[in-house]
Amino acid sequence: MLEPENSAPIVVGIDGSEAGVRAARWAAAEAESRNVPLRLVYATKASHPSADDYYDDVRRGQDALSAAQIDVNRRYSEVKVETALVDGPPGRALIDESDRAAMLCVGSVGIGRYAESILGSIALAVAEGAACPVAVIRAQEDDSAVHWIAAGNPADEHVVESAMAEARLRQAPVLVLGDRREGDAFIYQVKSIQLRNPDLHIYPITDRNDVAGFLRRHDEPVQLAVIGESEVAELPRILGPHGRHMFHLFEGTTSSVLVARYD
């Protein structure tokens, strides 16, 4: 498979967890659609108390990278997969990787009451500090179901463009979230998006009552919430099981998040 001239890879943080492998699968579909390499990265701990601890960390990294690569190759045989074992700490290492990446993906089990869990803190640090778009991937309860893509800010062209691209790739309908108080301005924004993307199913959602009614009628979960760089601080409430963010109007969902960011 020939690579395009701009072949910056999709980078995935691998840590030996199932969440990391799921992020690699999600990223592999992204890499395949863009015809770019997939780069799997394991970052060692920042320090090691002994040589044995260091070599154990390296072995864990090699095993984790190998397992993730085998999983991806089995599902996406046409994707070129690179692996790298780099010095940590993981958050800093992945942010450094983002300088040469088209997108950075990390797995998360969600950010609960204690946001400074390992997966949670790395996801937050990377989303805040990366130089490229960042996807924080959570497992869906039913991978075979049709899940919605939710665009969080229709006035942000980066958010809209990213949401539409993911909707095409994931073959998913789109919910555009807005505020009823915006009135005709919001409706005009959504109609403009619909006209520019006639191949997609795009629906406006304006308040809590509309969302609750919509979900009662359709009972379909959100697979990916697309937000702008200015909304990164909301990640704990989007990913957490008890959040109060707008996306948690979709009760019961375990949504992944894509932070749309461009140079």
Percent of the chain with pLDDT strictly greater than 90 = 51
- Is the per-residue pLDDT at 141 higher than 90? no
Least-confidence region, from 96-100, 192-196, 255-259: 255-259
For residue 111, what pLDDT is reported?
A: 44
CB 113 within 8 A of CB 238: no
Residue 37 contacts by C-beta under 8 Å, 6 or more apart in sequence? 3, 7, 9, 10, 31, 79, 80, 81, 82
For residue 108, what pLDDT is reported?
A: 80
For residue 131, what pLDDT is reported?
A: 95
**Identical fold between 8-135 and 146-257:** yes
- Is the per-residue pLDDT at 114 higher than 60? no
Place of tokens 């005709």: 184
pTM (predicted TM-score): 0.85
**Can you identify the CATH homologous superfamily of domain 146-257?**
HUPs (3.40.50.620)
Q: Is 35 left (phi over 0), alpha (psi -120 to 50) or beta?
A: left
Q: Which long-range contacts (CB under 8 A, 24 or more apart) does 200-204 make?
A: 200/164, 200/167, 200/168, 200/173, 200/174, 201/173, 201/174, 202/173, 202/174, 202/176, 203/173, 203/174, 203/175, 203/176, 204/175, 204/176, 204/178
State the fold for domain 8-135.
Rossmann fold (3.40.50)
For residue 36, what pLDDT is reported?
A: 97
Q: How far apart are CA 120 and CA 133, in angstroms?
A: 17
Domain boundaries in the chain?
A: 8-135, 146-257
Place of tokens 């601080």: 233
Q: How far apart are CA 87 and CA 71, in angstroms?
A: 24
- Is the per-residue pLDDT at 216 higher than 70? no
